[in-house]
Every structure is written in structure tokens, then in C-alpha cells.
Structure 1
Amino acid sequence: MTSRTGSAHLPLVPAAAFVLVWSSGYVSGPAAVDAAAPFTVLGWRFVLAAVLAAALSLALRRPTRMDRATLARVAAVGLVMNAVQFGLMYVAFDLGLGATLASLFHALSPVLTALLAAGLLGERVSPLQVVGFVVGVLGVLLVLGGDLSHAGGVAAVLIGCLSMLTLSLGTLGQRWIGAQPDLLWSATVQFAVSAPPMLVLGWTTEGAWPVTDARQALVAVVFLAVVNSIVGLVLLSLLVLRGGSGAAASLFFLSPPVTAVLAWLVLDETLSALQLVGLVVAVVGVAVATRTRRTPDLAPSPSPPA
């Protein structure tokens, strides 16, 4: 599959819908952990998403061919991309990390992936990619400011950064899969293997019923599973089909400002003037880096990182 680097090759409506769905995950995540404990939320999200993805795969008669080695690799990458990456971010949400900042961390992930590929795999990285990443990091630092209490403290910020790193490592891990199994069945496997560890962690560390608002928790989990996991997956598949495996990366820079608007509308999350400047700086940095990179062919993530 040929990669393309610009969103100009992408159909406008699916691309806009994907950005909106992607960004909404950074709002629905904090809303979910406000109503229930993070591991429990993720466990049930993955259970529902696995059932829906399997049903959709069967309804569309998607090919099920996947040898044992490929199945094991798909499952391993899924644990990293879903259980570990989401687990870290949702713990950060629970500690107070804001939606916009979380989106900024993940927006930097495609550029970090390219830098890691250069360091670990010897791939070429352009000077503009490095500059874009540095500018993006500076923008994030401006958003953070000198006082981290508004972002949940040092622990929340560090855990958010670990989530970004895990997302980048998981993206590199997509190449380790080697073959290109059906995207829907891969997502089914990856959701299914990610649910048990989250549920077990939830049971042992959060208790049998760590829910403070049952209605909000139910709505949030259903939204996360249906909209962020399944609808996001379908839109991503369409964009990859039309624009190549770099399609999502070319749209990453749009997520933070959209998330900021959604977070303001839904979560009443506001940014100071300095933070708004930092947001613009970070978005410009990510845009420069992702618009100038030549994205290698990567199997797309089975679900948006939100």
C-alpha cells in the first residue's frame, strides 16, 4: 500500500468525521473516569468493542485467515496499543490530566515514532521532522506552564508522556506483525486480549463496583466502545484505503484544537492566554513534522488512541 503524506488526498467528510471522533475520545475518557475507576471503564469498553467488532466482521464476511504466529503478534501489539497505552492515559485522566493536554501528547506520537524508527531501526529522519518535534514539545511546555497542579501534578504528566511513548512503540510494533491480516478481525483480537487484564486490574485494585455515577459511566463506556472504537475504526479503514497508511498521521495536528473546543463545551475546560499560545505553537510543530514526513507503511492502529 502506498503511503501519502497530505490530507489533501483524503475525502473531506470522512477525514473531518475521523478528526471529530478521534478528538471526542479525549473528552469521553475523562468523563468516564469521573463516573467510574479507569481500569474498570477500559475493561468493559474493550469487552463491548470486541463483541461489536466480531459481529461487524461476521456481518461483512471479512476473511478470518490468520496463522498462529500472526495471531500471537497481533495480540501482543494489541496489549501494548490498547491495555498499556490506554491504561496509562486513563490513570493520568483519573489524576487530573486535561483532555487538551492528553491530545497534545498523542498528537506528538507520529513524530516521536519517526524519531524512534531513526534511532532504533536506522531509518532516515528529516531536519524538519526534528524541528517540528522540538517546536511541538515547546508548545506543550507552554501549555503546562510552571505550575503542574492544573494538569494533575507531576505524576499525571509523566504517565501521560509514558502513554505517548507506548503509543509510538506500539505503532512501530505494527511492522513486527509482518503480514497484513484483516483489520476488523485484528481489532477484535486486540480488544479481546486487552479486556481481561483491565478487568482483573480493576477488580484487584479498584474493587468490585468502583462506580460513582452508574448512568454517566454506562453512557461513557457505550460511547467509547461504539463511537471511538468501532466508528473510529471504520473511518480509519476508509482513510487508509483512500490515502494510505499515513492518513491518520497527516490529520494528527488537527486533534488538539478540536479537542480544546470539545473540552470547553463538555468539560468546561478552559485555557489561559499563554496556554492558547502554547497550543498554537504545538499544533504548528506537529503540522510541520507530519506534513513533511514520508510515513512508512504501517498497519494502522485498530482504534484511535483516546
Structure 2
Amino acid sequence: MTPRTGSTLPLVPAAAFVLVWSSGYISGPAAVDAAAPFAVLGWRFVIAALLGAGLALALRRPTRMDRATLGRVAAVGLVMNALQFGLMYVAFDLGLGATLASLFHALSPVLTALLAAALLGERVSMLQVLGFVVGVAGVLIVLGSDLGHAGGPIAVLVGGLSMLTLSLGTLGQRWIGAQPDLLWSAAVQFAVSAPPLLVLSWLTEGAWPVTDTGQAVGSVLLLAIVNSIVGLMLLALLVLRGGSGAAASLFFLSPPVTAVLAWLVLDETLSITQLIGLVVAVVGVAAATRTRRTPVPAQEVGTQ
């Protein structure tokens, strides 16, 4: 069945996707509060790879990947998962807040469109450019002149690099060329991301970098099951039912939802100025993503 490109999204799956996507910015900081970031991600991807492959086998999904396609899927997976999440979880460990992390990633679809214009010669509208500029301005307002509340300049820089690698990885999905099965592709991308992260964890974080076993295990399971698998399936459903452009327009809803969840769960608060910056950023991203019609790879949600 071919995805539609301009339809109305079904309300319940759309709301569930926004909640699942946003919850990743809560589970991530909770996980790195209880264990070291590379260990968290390594075991998350081990579990997600097993779940994805098991579900693909249970549903009898076709592999449809020759050796060249498999290599490209794996390479993009390393960027999308190991590198992008590795950077963001290091930023969490340095003190970057959930709302700011969500803002960075909400800008990524717009940055992807701009990078596609610069690198691939694709057309980009003035509204997309303006939306990105307004979104960045909103982030700068949230950050303010003192970066201490955001974990410091290094945390902000690492979070920004995570946004860039997410956009580059999204462009890399087009380089794959073929259309491999969603579940098998995700399972491969999770599987290739786990070993380098676990090795990096062993070398830099120690054999058992866990301070709270219960919280660490619970957070990793939530990330693997809810964000990596349920989020993946919800986005695939939304792209199928509403089209890739409509699905992309949901990403601007994540920062305000994340801000509420962070206030409820992580006790994060925003000043009046930061709330104004959040609104400015969301308006910019909303304007830009509502004009976007390029496909959104469901693997992109492997997720926060």
C-alpha cells in the first residue's frame, strides 16, 4: 500500500506518537541519572534489536536486502543511532535538560530540508528558511546568556551536534536507495549500533557503570520497548495513513509536551522568558514543517 501525502492524520495514533516521542526525552535523562550513557544506549539497542527481529520473524516480514543494501542500512544506523543518540545522551549526562533536547531535535526536520537544498540541490521554500531562523531564535531565548542551567556550553554544543547528525542520518536514509522492510531495517540498525557503544562503555565507563539498578533497568526497558519499537510502529502507521508530510508536521508538538512531562516527572521548570522562547521556537518549527513534503523515514524514530 502506498503512503498518502496530504491526508488528515488519525487522532489517537497521532496523539500516542507525540506522547511516545516526547517521553523519550524523559526516560533518557532518567536512565543516565542511574547509569552511564554509553551503557544505557548499548543495552537499549541490544534489547531493541532482539525485539525488532523477533517481531519481524513473528510477522513473517521479508528481508528484501541484498549485501549492498544491508551495508548502507548498517552505515546509516550507526549515524542515526550510535552517533546521534550517543551525543544526545552525553549531553544529558552533562546536564542538558529534556525540553532543550526536544527543541534541538524538533529543529532537525527543518535543518534536513536546508541541508538537502545545500548538498543535494533540492528546492527549499522561504517559509522553511524563515521557520528555521525563528526556531533557532527561540532556542537562543530559552538558553539565555547563562548556559549554566543547560549544563554549560559543552552540553549545548553536544546537543546541537546531535541535531546535526540526526539530519545527516535522515538524508542518509535516501542513500539506501532500496525500500527494505521497516522492521528488519530497524533491527539491523539497532544491532550494529549496540557493539561499538558497549565497547566504548567498557573502555570509558567501566564494567558496571550503574548507580541505581532498578531505575536503570526500568528506563532502558522503556526506551527499548516504547520508544524504539512502539514509536517506530506508530510513525509507520501515521506515514501510511496520513502521508509523510503530515507525519512530519507532528514534530513541532514534541517540545511543549516534553516541557509538561519534564515538569511533572523531572521537576524541570522554565522561566517566563524561557517559556516565550519555547513558544517562538515551536511556532518557527510548526511553520516550516507544515510546508515539508519529503518522506520521513520511520527508522528516524528509534527514538529519544
Fold agreement, TM-score > 0.5: yes
Distance 1:103 1:302, change over 3 A: closer
Does residue 17 of the first structure (1) align with residue 16 of the second (2)?
yes
Corresponding residue SS for 2:298: coil
Cα displacement (A) at 1:11 = 0.6
Q: Percent identity?
A: 81
Query: Does the aligned pair in 2 maintain the 1:54–1:184 contact within 8 Å?
Result: yes
Does residue 96 of the first structure (1) align with residue 100 of the second (2)?
no
Distance 1:302 1:58, change over 3 A: farther
Does residue 54 of the first structure (1) align with residue 22 of the second (2)?
no
TM score, norm. by length of structure 1: 0.97
Distance 1:242 1:23, change over 3 A: same
Cα displacement (A) at 1:302 = 4.8
Does residue 4 of the first structure (1) align with residue 5 of the second (2)?
yes
Q: For 1:149-164, what aligned pairs fall within 5 Å after superposition?
A: 149-164=148-163
Distance 1:144 1:201, change over 3 A: same
Of the structure 1 ranges 241-250 and 229-238, higher mean CA displacement relative to structure 2 is found in 241-250
CA distance in 1, matches of 2:289, 2:175: 22
CA distance in 2, matches of 1:297, 1:140: 26
Q: What corresponds to 1:179 in structure 2? A: 178
For structure 1, the residue ranges without an aligned partner over 5 or more in a row are: none
Code of the residue aligned with 2:103 in structure 1: it is L
For 1:107-165, what per-residue CA distance to the aligned partner results, in whole angstroms no more than 9, with x for missing partners?
00000000000000111111111110000000000100110000000000000000000
Code of the residue aligned with 2:58 in structure 1: it is A
For structure 2, the residue ranges without an aligned partner over 5 or more in a row are: none
Distance 1:123 1:3, change over 3 A: farther
Code of the residue aligned with 1:222 in structure 2: it is L
Cα displacement (A) at 1:237 = 1.1
Cα displacement (A) at 1:249 = 1.6
CA distance in 1, matches of 2:89, 2:247: 22
Does residue 118 of the first structure (1) align with residue 145 of the second (2)?
no
Query: Does the aligned pair in 2 maintain the 1:83–1:194 contact within 8 Å?
Result: yes
Cα displacement (A) at 1:298 = 4.7
CA distance in 2, matches of 1:42, 1:73: 21
CA distance in 2, matches of 1:65, 1:163: 30
CA distance in 2, matches of 1:249, 1:258: 16
For 1:11-40, what per-residue CA distance to the aligned partner results, in whole angstroms no more than 9, with x for missing partners?
100000000000000000000000000000
Query: Does the aligned pair in 2 maintain the 1:106–1:305 contact within 8 Å?
Result: no
Query: Does the aligned pair in 2 maintain the 1:84–1:166 contact within 8 Å?
Result: yes
Q: What corresponds to 2:288 in structure 1? A: 289
CA distance in 2, matches of 1:194, 1:184: 15
TM score, norm. by length of structure 2: 0.97
Code of the residue aligned with 2:111 in structure 1: it is L
Corresponding residue SS for 2:258: helix
Query: Does the aligned pair in 1 maintain the 2:142–2:274 contact within 8 Å?
Result: yes
Does residue 235 of the first structure (1) align with residue 234 of the second (2)?
yes
